[in-house]
């Protein structure tokens, strides 16, 4: 379903840093420009349809960057990632949503971008709003929603899409308990339909509940790719609380 080979992503630490005169003459031969660092490097893995994968690592170790590559919203500087199916990304709280548009417009836009027909959208519109508990804010600009409500709307839409790959980045932590329970049930339904799931989480219970396999990232490197229990154990022993 997904093949990632030697993935590398480079970012600049400091937007203001300029390349030096000397750098200009060394042209493209330099491996890394000043101020740049590899947020992800030499990362390779294969994912089969229906696999549920938990991505673990401390803050800033490349987890979100990896999901963005799979979602196709970021291109690698090295290596390749191929995804043989559509992706429903739930990454970054407001990801893909337009702040000035209303909830209604955003739901229609996102669903439309993922290939749902007008008719299908109007069929499932009420269910999406109902799932999110967003009836009162349907005509409110998205930017005026509370952060929890933004996540609820985003999850409600994204989990309604027919895409075979679902990416969930740490958003479950934001919803209140009643909403999390609904999200868990929905994720379980999606897994039962043999969808592929990537879950970034710092919550071991969530990881164990949904994922069989884990990827442990540290310093942008893939330290361990294995059964979720082994991955959690290794992560915990590397970084005891
Ligand atoms: N657009 C960007 N420009 C520069 N640096 C970036 C950019 N996006 C991410 N980074 C940096 O890349 C590194 C990896 O970030 P990433 O968001 O993938 O980490 P993460 O493991 O998801 O962290 P968290 O658990 O905090 O969400 C971090 O040092 C981050 O500051």
ipTM of the complex as predicted: 0.96
Q: Which atom of ligand 1 is nearest to the CA of 57?
A: 21
Query: Average pLDDT of the chain?
Result: 88
Please determine, for residue 122, whether its predicted confidence score (pLDDT) is greater than 90.
yes
pLDDT in tens, 40-89: 999 999 999 999 999 999 999 999 999 999 988 899 999 999 998 888 88
Q: So what's the pLDDT on residue 80?
A: 96
Q: So what's the pLDDT on residue 96?
A: 74
Q: So what's the pLDDT on residue 18?
A: 52
pLDDT in tens, 136-151: 999 999 999 998 899 8
pTM: 0.86
Residue with tokens 């709307």: 153
- How far, in Å, from the CA of 138 to the mean position of ligand 1? 32
Beta strands in the chain (DSSP E): 2-12, 36-47, 52-56, 78-83, 87-90, 165-169, 196-200, 213-218, 221-227
- How far, in Å, from the CA of 65 to the mean position of ligand 1? 6
Cα–Cα distance measured from residue 16 to residue 227, given in angstroms and rounded to the nearest whole number = 42
Q: Can you tell me whether residue 150 is helix, strand or coil?
A: helix
Q: So what's the pLDDT on residue 2?
A: 94
- Ligand 1 pocket check: which of 10, 40, 61 to mutate, most ligand atoms within 8 Å of Cβ? 61
For ligand 1, atom 5, name the residue with the nearest CA: 11
**Helix segments in 34-169, DSSP class H:** 63-71, 103-113, 118-132, 147-158
Domain boundaries, the chain: 2-238
Cα–Cα distance measured from residue 220 to residue 210, given in angstroms and rounded to the nearest whole number = 24
- How far, in Å, from the CA of 74 to the mean position of ligand 1? 12
For ligand 1, atom 2, name the residue with the nearest CA: 11
What is the band of 21 on the pLDDT scale with cuts at 50, 70, 90?
low
Residue 187 tokens, joined: 């994720």
- How far, in Å, from the CA of 66 to the mean position of ligand 1? 10
- How far, in Å, from the CA of 220 to the mean position of ligand 1? 9
Contacts of 125 (CB under 8 A, 6+ apart): 104, 107, 108
Residues whose beta carbon lies within 6 Å of some atom of ligand 1: 11-12, 39, 57, 59-65
Long-range interactions of 62-66: CB distance < 8 A, separation 24+? 62/9, 62/217, 62/219, 62/220, 63/169, 63/200, 63/217, 64/91, 64/92, 64/169, 64/170, 64/200, 65/9, 65/39, 65/40, 65/220, 66/7, 66/40, 66/215, 66/217
More confident residue, 97 or 29: 97
Residue range 2-238 forms a domain whose CATH class is: alpha beta
Residue 141 tokens, joined: 């600009």
């Amino acid at each position: 379903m997904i093949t990632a080979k030697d993935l590398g992503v480079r970012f600049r630490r400091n937007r203001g840093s300029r390349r030096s005169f000397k750098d200009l003459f060394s042209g493209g031969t330099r491996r890394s420009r000043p101020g740049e660092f590899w947020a992800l490097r030499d990362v390779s893995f294969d994912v089969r349809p229906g696999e549920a994968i938990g991505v673990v690592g401390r803050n800033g170790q490349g987890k979100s960057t990896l999901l963005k590559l799979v979602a196709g919203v970021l291109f690698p500087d090295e290596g390749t990632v191929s995804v043989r199916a559509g992706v429903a990304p739930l990454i970054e709280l407001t990801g893909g949503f337009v702040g000035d548009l209303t909830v209604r417009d955003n739901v229609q836009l996102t669903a439309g971008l993922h290939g749902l027909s007008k008719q299908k959208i109007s069929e499932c519109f009420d269910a999406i709003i109902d799932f999110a508990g967003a009836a009162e804010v349907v005509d409110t600009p998205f930017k005026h929603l509370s952060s929890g409500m933004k996540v609820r709307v985003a999850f409600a839409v994204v989990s309604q899409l027919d895409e075979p790959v679902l990416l969930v980045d740490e958003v479950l932590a934001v919803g209140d308990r009643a909403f999390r329970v609904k999200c868990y049930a929905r994720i379980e339904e999606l897994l039962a339909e043999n969808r592929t799931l990537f879950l970034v989480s710092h919550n071991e219970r969530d990881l164990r509940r949904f994922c069989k396999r884990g990827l442990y990232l540290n310093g942008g490197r893939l330290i361990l790719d294995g059964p979720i229990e082994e991955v959690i154990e290794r992560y915990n022993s590397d970084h005891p609380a």
